[in-house]
Amino acid sequence: MLIDNKSIAIVGGGPAGLTLARLLQLKNAHVKVYERDVNKNARVQGSPLDMHEDSGLAALRKAELLEEFKKNFRPGADKTLILNEQAEILYSDHDTKPEEDFGHEHFRPEIDRGPLRNMLLQSLHPETVVWDSHFISMEPKDKGWLLHFKNETSAYADIVIASDGANSKIRPYLTDIKPVYSGIIMLEGNVSKEAAPHIDALIKGGKIMAFGNTQNILIGQKGNGDLGFYASFKADENWATRSGLDFSDSTQILRWFKKEYAEWSNIWDELFENAKYPFIPRPIYYMPLDQTWESKSNLTLIGDAAHVMPPFAGEGANMAMLDALELSEHLTDQQYKTLQEAIFHYENNMRNRASAVTKESLENGERMHSEKALSTMVEFFTAHLE
């Protein structure tokens, strides 16, 4: 194989990086994952992920982890309600969606990020992940790279794979193309179910999508019972700064919500009154649909480092894990004569695939923040259910 006797450094220990490490180790590759977290418990993992049959689940199946996934996913967490701004239910699949339907193209089982990460970590060889490795810079050495970390350690690798997210520090070594702002801000919050009893009674372990006046509230229940939620709206890219809001001040955030979402029922107030502060403003970015770069023989990108995209198609983590699957197959495919050829074909296919999904996600984002968002989304989900 092209990677025989090659040392591979994956920078970033998220779902894509860990999946890639697992897939490569199944091919007997020499892999290290460099992760900035001090240890596996250093960070609270975010909102749940839904896995798709032809991407995230395909990667887990190839990684021989599907049965382990079935032990860790959350049955029923993919059930959806669509509400208007008055919290009236216009669509529900709670009585029709099966809790388990693996193999069906529309089944999207949900798993919390923590259990997914632990499952992937446990599948790797001991000492694969090098914790407390905050990437700072790298320089060419021999035919590979010498990587430098914040803790003043360094490591050599013949091949470097960037899996370090939307703000990748490795991406600039390959391309100077930067993300583009989508026009949408998502203000992220988190609240315990006990502190939001009316919403908890509605959501029943699943998710809520509420639309009104070109604004959204999107809610998902986590494995610990907390409600992770987003107020999503169109705004200037620098809204977080220009708003003058202190995102740690509950009084300010509640006042802002009551003003900006003035036509929404006060049932939603409990999310903002009782949230675990601070809120996190997230401007939504995407990579240009026509991005390209010259492939290298010793460096490539996966996941958000390659193609950060809006979340409105639910494809981000799935595309990242599919990147891991496809890159592992290209690097171990005997038809390619050189690493540069293998990486070129991977990157070309990855960019085309990501561009199509990014376009779909941008279009969905526009629909979800339009005057007709509610009727459009109800119609879409009803047709999907049928």
User: For 318-370, what is each residue's pLDDT tens digit?
Assistant: 999 999 999 999 999 999 999 999 999 999 999 999 999 999 999 999 999 99
Residues 278 and 195 in one domain: yes
- Going by pLDDT thresholds of 50, 70 and 90, the confidence category of residue 98 is confident
Q: Are residues 50 and 154 in the same domain?
A: yes
Question: Which DSSP letter does residue 165 get?
Answer: -
Kindly report the CATH number assigned to the domain that includes residue 116.
Answer: 3.50.50.60
Does residue 164 have a known ligand-binding role? no
Give residue-wise pLDDT tens across range 201-251. Answer: 999 999 999 999 999 999 999 888 899 999 999 999 999 999 999 999 989
Position 386 scores a pLDDT of 57
Based on the fold, state whether residues 266 and 293 are members of the same structural domain: no
**CB–CB of 51/69 below 8 Å?**
yes
172 shares its domain with 189: no
pTM score of the predicted model = 0.95
Tens of pLDDT, residues 288-328: 999 999 999 999 999 999 999 999 998 999 999 999 999 99
Q: For residue 362, what are the domain limits?
A: 7-74+112-178+288-367
pLDDT, position 317? 94
- In sequence order, the 6+-apart residues with CB closer than 8 A to the CB of 263 are 85, 212, 213
302 closest CA partner among 286, 323, 287: 323
Q: Please report where in the chains the tokens 């790298």 appear, as a residue.
A: 138
State mean pLDDT over 191-208. 95
Q: How far apart are CA 326 and CA 340, in angstroms?
A: 15
Amino acid identity of 36?
R
Residue 317 is assigned to a structural domain of this protein:
yes
Do 194 and 276 sit in the same domain of this protein? yes
Q: How confident is the model at residue 373 (pLDDT cuts 50, 70, 90)?
A: very high
Quote the pLDDT of residue 159.
98
**Confidence category of residue 99, pLDDT binned at 50, 70, 90:** confident
pLDDT tens digits along 142-154: 999 999 999 999 9
User: Is 304 annotated as a binding-site member?
Assistant: yes
Is position 79 within any domain?
no
CATH, residue 265:
3.30.9.30
Q: Which residue has tokens 């900006």?
A: 260
Residues 299 and 277 in one domain: no
Which one, of 204, 222, 225, lies nearest residue 92 by Cα? 204
Work out the mean pLDDT of the chain and round it to a whole number. 95
3-class state of residue 55 by DSSP:
coil
The residue from 233, 262, 286 where one domain ends is 286
Give percent above pLDDT 90 in the chain. 90
End of a domain among 286, 310, 329? 286
- Domain shared by 69 and 197, yes or no: no
pLDDT at 106: 80
Q: Residue 365: its pLDDT value, please?
A: 97
Return the pLDDT at 139.
Answer: 98
DSSP-assigned letters across all residues of 87-117: --EEEE-TTTS-S--TT-TT---EE-HHHHH
The residue behind tokens 């998502």 is 186
Q: Is the pLDDT of residue 196 over 90?
A: yes
State the pLDDT confidence band at 46, using cuts at 50, 70 and 90: low
Q: Are residues 173 and 190 in the same domain?
A: no
Taking residues 64-79, what's their average pLDDT?
95
Q: Indicate whether 206 and 162 sit together in one domain.
A: no
pLDDT at 41: 84
Same domain, 196 and 164: no
45, pLDDT greater than 70: no
